Amino acid sequence: MKTLAEYLELAAAAHGHLCAGQVLGVRLAMLGLRELGIDDPVAERKRLVTYVEIDRCVTDAVALVANCRLGKRALKFRDWGKVAATFVDLQTGRAVRVAAKESSKQAAREMFPELVKGVGQQKAYAQLSDDILFDKQWVKVQVQPEDLPGFKGPRVVCAQCGEGINFKREVVSDGRTLCRSCAGDSYYAP
């Protein structure tokens, strides 16, 4: 595993800037990987699946450190608005969820009260102990075969819109195979 400083430099380049969320995300992912005993996520690319629970700066840093990408099917997003991630070791079946403690912001403010909020948080998040920053919990995660990296499955066509559907994401309603949008679970309206 790289050092914190190395990851922060890479995170700043990948994300476009370094912020408190990037520092927290790097630390969160480093802790998750250490807990699972994964030292080189690049070399063991298909060993890890990571679930992130927020679409903010933290997630970019977690993806960088864990070497998980949406396009590689190793990064899963759950829109729960929480600064948390669950790291699943597909080789052992073990999984650990790491979540930022709500009290970590206050701990950062108290550590560097003279600094502007963001600058103080960045500096504190790089120095505070894992125990002050995070809660960790061993959890069970059942990763379905169709959600695994490298899964190759049948492609079906929506009976209503005619678009292709991959990875068993179709819905069968009244005997018709539909995409989720045509089945009523859409984020857009025509």
Q: Are 77 and 41 in contact (CB under 8 A)?
A: no
Give the chain as a 3 state SS string.
CCCHHHHHHHHHHHHCCCCHHHHHHHHHHHHHHHHHCCCCCCCCHHHEEEEECCCCHHHHHHHHHHCCCHHHCCEEECCCCCCEEEEEECCCCCEEEEEECCCHHHHHHHHCCCCCHHHHHHHHHHHCCHHHHEEEEEECCCCCHHHCCCCCCCCEECCCCCCEECCCCCEEECCEEECCCCCCCCCCCC
pLDDT of residue 189: 86
Tokens of 181: 């949008």
Determine whether domain 153-190 maps to CATH 2.40.50.
no
Using 50 as the pLDDT threshold, list the residues of the chain that sit under it. none
Record the pTM.
0.90
Domain borders along the chain are 4-143, 153-190
pLDDT of residue 174: 94
Domain 4-143: which CATH class? alpha beta
Find the angle CA(34)-CA(81)-CA(12) to the nearest 5 degrees.
Answer: 55
For 65-92, what is each residue's pLDDT tens digit? 999 999 999 999 999 999 999 999 999 9
Tokens of 110: 């108290």
